[in-house]
């Protein structure tokens, strides 16, 4: 397509607006922006902010799909707007809303305090089986041991999975996909020895047993983390642990 | 106004800031730490670093090798005492990060793997696939959650340093959710706010990289050091500036001009080996030369007519296809993902269009080897600081390690200072916080009657910086840039915000960022104008030679009220390596 051809084309953005200090109810505002083959939805929002309406607020930073800031609902689907291309929606209008199931602070900005607290609750950090001084060098870990948990390290905390999770929508106390996947990331790490402590938090009704395996978390994950798989895997472990505790009560 | 108070404040929650916070947790868990960051820590730009982090680990390597590579890579402008401390502490910091869970890529025996990088004599770049910064940041962030003495102020934007009695006693910060300015007191304050790549149009840097900490220090009278040294990374995607990591060349990728020729051989970087040769890629040669030399070679090739032309300007090709899908997916999966998403090509079978893009600011807040600035109580670490280990050109994979080594050093120095210094002057600090609240409201919310826009001034600034202070510079180009920056600073006074909301007003934060960018740009162009020599990334076509006699010195830019910055100089610390020639591509 020639550049002059695309220059005249435009696309409509229907953008969720809400400023709690000025409006009681959210509204939608429509902006007409230039259509470019290589533009992502975030580029279109930046065009609005820079040239049409400086009052529109949203989060963004890296524009390369790794910082996790710019998650929004795009035509009803949770997406990283830096990775959602206009060409996949054109010529239809694009509706942009804040991620669902989260309280809205303003416009497209959600409140994610809940997730930040859950990350601490699940103890998403390495707790070595045996402490080893730095002077003795690294813990050995084979490529196969690394591969065992690597997928779950790829979570960018973008919150798309929470927005896709109907269980989280109904029960905000549910730990949710990313927090459980990150707990599993450490449980499966050959260097870690704190799975039992995390079990007290995640092998619970608000943890893995709350998940009804809809699987949408894995479908929308932009980094292919597969949180649903992590939860299923944890359920198997929890069940095995339970049987073991019945059969061999002293072996804890 | 309520005064918030901690023993030590950290401004910025990226790699350096989190390393500092953890160090204080380890040193003395009784000290309370406040981490003030304009974004959630895991959004910080450390997350975008790809290739790796340098530390000596191979038995055939040595600290002396790493020191030499760093000093010669820096074109002898690095302080050698700082480089020695950095290189010596680097391996233990990397191992510590391994103990905190960083998923380093491994050798079959389970030990940590390393890869070659530009300007490095021996493989010493630790990596976690090609998302090293991402994994380091998340390992640090998640590990920091365990420290109960660390209080995070996520999405608080520091707008001013609060100083009294000749020392820094805290910061004023804008709480984005409420629009309130709060005074936050601390006996020690550590700036870890990252670089300033957004003052240029094409950059690998994230939107948040607006030089905030540099501007805070500059306005508080602290000099900004060596700002004329700005690194172009030779391989960014045209248009977006998205980084295609140097690891792609470390793993064997080659650069081709429009005729498919490996043009680097024409620019004193040695002779190419065939990609099938067992010795390819040869270290310190061709594609594994340092970034400044590769970016300059691109510009010279462009002038010769050897580059290709596209919608976003001139470009060349990076070819990694000979590695094959298996190796690319194992070693460079993110490169493949980025190319598919943002360049519409698959590097397994297609050439990647690349051009030099602004990547890193070597200069920054002037600190000593303990990360202390000239203002008592104020410290700086990471890209916002200039220690200096990077001199006139940083070697790829030194900066991630720098975050760790100097983040920790800054924390230790701040803890010592905390134990020695007097109490906070509470009422003065609060009064300054209130004055800052008033300044922000009056400056940005009162009608100015002006028609200037944030995006307009920002775009003009970016293009002035590229035109005037790009890969090659002259007296004329820099004077034009100096005048333009001054003009834009004046016009900035007449911007008018449409948004007067107190709730998460991103137009306000963007305006404050632009104010910071203008100050940082001012220090950069004036430092560049004053340095009448060529060294590393600072190339003056009117002064093409390195001039050790006059300029084996760091430049220090001091802000003056209403005028041009005052440029002073201080000697580079030389311990064991007298200035010599930088030799790449030798037989």
Confidence (pLDDT) at B226: 98
Contact A124 B145 (CB under 8 A): yes
The pLDDT score that the predictor gives to residue A244 is: 83
pLDDT digits (tens, 9 = 90+) for B46-75: 999 999 999 999 999 999 999 999 999 999
Give domain status of residue B423, yes or no. yes
Cβ(B247)–Cβ(B50) under 8 Å?
yes
- Residues A118, A101 within the same domain: no
Q: What percent of chain A has pLDDT over 70?
A: 96
**Whole-number percent of chain B with pLDDT over 70:** 100
State whether A131 and A247 are in the same domain: yes
- Residues B546, B532: Cα–Cα separation, whole Å: 9
Domain count, chain A: 2
User: Does some domain include residue B221?
Assistant: yes
Provide Rg for chain B, Cα atoms.
Answer: 23
Over residues A45-63, mean pLDDT = 97
Interface of A with B in 13-32 (CB under 8 A): 19-22
In this model, does residue A191 exceed pLDDT 60?
A: yes
pLDDT beyond 80 at B159:
yes
The Cα–Cα gap between B525 and B521 comes to 6
Q: Locate tokens 């030798």: which residue?
A: B586
**B269 & B159 share domain:** no
The reply to whether A25 and A91 lie within a common domain is: yes
The yes-or-no verdict on residue B30 having pLDDT over 60 is yes
B80 with B98, same domain: the answer is yes
Q: Are residues A190 and A237 in the same domain?
A: yes
Where residue A164 falls among pLDDT bands split at 50, 70, 90?
very high
Nearest C-alpha neighbor of A136 from the set B520, B529, B91, B401: B91
CB B148 within 8 Å of CB B157: no
Q: Tell whether B143 is within 8 A of chain A (Cβ).
A: yes
- What number of other Cβ atoms are within 10 A of residue B583's Cβ? 10
In the predicted structure, residue B331 carries a pLDDT above the cut 80:
yes
A interface mutation test: which of B88, B134, B195 has the most A CBs within 10 A?
Answer: B134
Domain boundary among A81, A110, A139: A110
Average pLDDT over residues A28-33: 98
Domain with residue B424: its CATH number is: 3.50.50.60
Same domain for B456 and B365: no
Same domain, A66 and A151: no
Q: Based on the fold, state whether residues A121 and A237 are members of the same structural domain.
A: yes
Tens of pLDDT, residues A88-131: 999 999 999 999 999 999 999 999 999 999 999 999 999 999 99
In a shared domain, residues B110 and B218:
yes
Is B233 in the active site? yes
Mutate to test the interface with B, among A67, A118, A141, A192 (most CBs of B within 10 A): A67
> How far apart (Å, rounded) are the C-alpha atoms in residues B354 and B204?
12
Res B579: pLDDT:
97
**CB proximity list for B487: less than 8 A, separation 6 or greater:** none
The last residue of one of the domains, among A110, A139, A173, is: A110
On whether both B210 and B61 belong to a single domain, the answer is yes
Residue of A nearest to B506 (CA): A57
Give the domain range for residue A67. 3-110
**Rounded Cα–Cα distance for residues B335 and B323 (Å):** 13
Q: What is the pLDDT of residue A8?
A: 84
Q: Is residue B585 part of a domain?
A: no
Average pLDDT, chain B: 96
Give me the CATH number covering residue B278. Answer: 3.90.700.10
Q: Chain B residue with minimal CA distance to A136?
A: B95
What are phi and psi for residue B163, nearest 5 degrees?
-120, 145
Do B223 and B374 contact (CB within 8 A), yes or no?
yes
Q: Give the 3-state DSSP-derived string for B500-532, with helices as H, strands as E and coil as C.
A: CCCCCCHHHHHHHHHHHHHHHHHHHHHHHHHCC
Regarding whether B334 and B297 lie in a shared domain, the answer is yes
What pLDDT, in 10s, does the model give residues B176-220?
A: 999 999 999 999 999 999 999 999 999 999 999 999 999 999 999
Q: Helices marked H in B147-189 — which ranges?
A: none
Q: How many CB atoms lie within 10 A of CB B327?
A: 14
Q: B541-556 burial by CB neighbour count: b if 16+ within 10 A, else e? A: eebeebeeeebbebbb
Domain tally for chain B? 3
Indicate if the pLDDT at residue B567 is higher than 90.
yes
Per-residue confidence (pLDDT) for residue A240, from 0 to 100: 87
CATH number at residue A197: 1.10.1060.10
Identify the CATH number of the domain in which residue B516 sits. 1.20.58.100
Question: Chain A within 8 Å of B225 (Cβ-Cβ)?
Answer: no
Q: At residue B350, what are phi and psi to the nearest 5 degrees?
A: -130, 165
Q: Any idea what the Cα angle at residue B492 is, between residues B487 and B496, rounded to 5°?
A: 145
pTM: 0.97
Residues forming a β-bridge with B67? none
CB contacts under 8 A, A 208-247 vs B, are none
Residue B496 has what pLDDT? Answer: 87
Condensed to tens digits (0 to 9), the pLDDT of residues B266-291 reads 999 999 999 999 999 999 999 999 99
Residue A250 has a pLDDT of 59
- Half-sphere exposure for A107 (CA within 13 Å, toward CB): 22
Shortest CA distance to B47 belongs to which of B112, B111, B109, B137? Answer: B137
78-117 of A, contacting B, C-beta below 8 A: 83, 105-107, 109, 112, 116
Q: Which value does ipTM take for this structure?
A: 0.96
User: What's residue A215's pLDDT?
Assistant: 95
Q: What is the pLDDT of residue A2?
A: 44
């Amino acid at each position: 397509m020639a550049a002059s051809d695309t220059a005249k084309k435009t696309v409509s953005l229907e953008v969720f607006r809400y400023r709690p200090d000025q409006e009681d109810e959210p509204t939608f505002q429509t902006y007409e922006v230039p259509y470019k083959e290589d533009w992502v939805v975030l580029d279109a929002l930046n065009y609005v902010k820079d040239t049409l309406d400086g009052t529109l607020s949203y989060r963004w930073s890296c524009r390369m799909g790794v910082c996790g800031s710019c998650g929004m609902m795009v035509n009803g689907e949770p997406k990283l707007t830096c990775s959602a291309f206009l060409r996949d929606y054109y010529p239809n209008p694009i509706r942009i809303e804040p991620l669902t199931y989260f309280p809205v602070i303003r416009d497209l900005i959600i409140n994610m305090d809940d997730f930040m607290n859950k990350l601490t609750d699940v103890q998403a950090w390495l707790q070595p089986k045996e402490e080893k001084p730095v002077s003795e060098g690294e813990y050995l870990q084979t490529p196969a041991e690394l591969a065992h948990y690597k997928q779950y390290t790829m979570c960018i905390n973008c919150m798309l999975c929470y927005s896709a999770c109907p269980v989280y929508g109904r029960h905000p106390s549910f730990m949710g996909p990313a927090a459980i996947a990150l707990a599993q990331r450490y449980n499966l790490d050959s260097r870690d020895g704190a799975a039992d402590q995390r079990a007290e938090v995640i092998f619970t009704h608000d943890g893995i047993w709350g998940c009804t395996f809809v699987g949408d978390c894995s479908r929308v994950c932009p980094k292919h983390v597969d949180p649903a798989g992590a939860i299923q895997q944890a359920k198997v472990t929890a069940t095995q642990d339970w049987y073991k505790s019945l059969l061999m009560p002293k072996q804890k | 106004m309520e005064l918030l108070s901690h023993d030590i404040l950290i401004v910025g929650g990226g790699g350096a800031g989190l390393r500092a916070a953890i160090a204080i947790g380890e040193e003395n868990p009784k000290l309370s730490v406040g981490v003030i960051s304009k974004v959630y820590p895991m959004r910080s730009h450390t997350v975008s670093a790809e290739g790796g982090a340098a530390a000596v680990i191979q038995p055939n390597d040595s600290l002396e090798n790493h020191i030499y590579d760093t000093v010669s890579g820096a074109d002898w402008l690095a302080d050698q005492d700082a480089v020695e401390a950095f290189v010596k502490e680097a391996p233990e910091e990397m191992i510590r990060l391994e103990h905190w869970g960083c998923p380093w890529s491994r050798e079959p025996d389970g030990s940590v793997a390393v890869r070659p990088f530009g300007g490095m004599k021996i493989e010493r770049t630790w990596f976690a696939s090609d998302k090293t910064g991402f994994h380091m940041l998340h390992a640090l962030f998640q590990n920091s959650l365990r420290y109960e003495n660390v209080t995070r102020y996520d999405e608080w934007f520091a707008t001013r340093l609060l100083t009294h009695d000749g020392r820094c006693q805290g910061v004023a910060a804008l709480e984005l959710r409420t629009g309130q300015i709060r005074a936050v007191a601390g006996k020690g304050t550590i700036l870890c706010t990252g670089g300033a790549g957004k003052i240029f149009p094409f950059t690998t840097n994230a939107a948040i990289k607006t030089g905030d900490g540099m501007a805070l220090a500059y306005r508080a009278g602290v000099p900004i050091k060596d700002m004329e040294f700005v690194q172009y990374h030779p391989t960014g995607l045209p248009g977006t500036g998205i980084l295609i990591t140097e690891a792609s060349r470390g793993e064997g990728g080659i650069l081709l001009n429009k005729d498919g020729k490996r043009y680097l051989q024409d620019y004193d970087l040695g002779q190419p080996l065939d990609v099938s040769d067992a010795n390819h890629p040869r270290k310190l040669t061709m594609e594994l030369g340092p970034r400044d030399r590769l970016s300059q070679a691109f510009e010279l090739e462009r002038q010769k007519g050897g580059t290709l032309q596209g919608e976003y300007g001139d470009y060349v090709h990076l070819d990694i296809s000979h590695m094959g899908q298996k190796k690319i997916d194992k070693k460079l999966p993110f490169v493949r993902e980025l190319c598919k998403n943002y360049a519409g090509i698959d590097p397994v079978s297609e050439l990647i269009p690349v051009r030099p893009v602004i990547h890193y600011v070597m200069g920054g807040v002037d600190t000593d080897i303990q990360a202390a600035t000239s203002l008592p109580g104020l410290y700086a670490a990471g890209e916002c600081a200039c220690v200096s280990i990077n001199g006139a050109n940083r070697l790829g994979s030194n900066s991630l390690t720098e975050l760790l080594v100097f983040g920790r050093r800054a924390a230790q120095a701040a803890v010592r200072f905390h134990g020695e210094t007097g109490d906070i002057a509470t009422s003065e600090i609060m009064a300054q916080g209130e004055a800052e609240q008033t300044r922000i409201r009056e400056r940005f919310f009162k009608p100015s009657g002006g028609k200037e826009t944030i995006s307009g001034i920002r775009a003009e600034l970016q293009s002035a910086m590229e035109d005037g202070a790009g890969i090659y510079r002259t007296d004329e180009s820099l004077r034009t840039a100096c005048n333009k920056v001054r003009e834009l600073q004046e016009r900035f006074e007449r911007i008018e915000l449409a948004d007067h909301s107190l709730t998460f007003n991103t137009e306000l934060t963007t305006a404050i960022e632009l104010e910071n960018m203008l100050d940082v740009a001012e220090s950069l162009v004036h430092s560049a104008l004053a340095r009448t020599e060529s060294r590393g990334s600072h190339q003056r076509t009117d002064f093409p030679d390195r001039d050790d006699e006059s300029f084996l010195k760091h430049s220090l830019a001091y802000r003056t009220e209403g005028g041009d910055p005052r440029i002073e100089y201080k000697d580079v610390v030389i311990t064991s390596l007298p200035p010599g020639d930088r030799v790449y591509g030798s037989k």
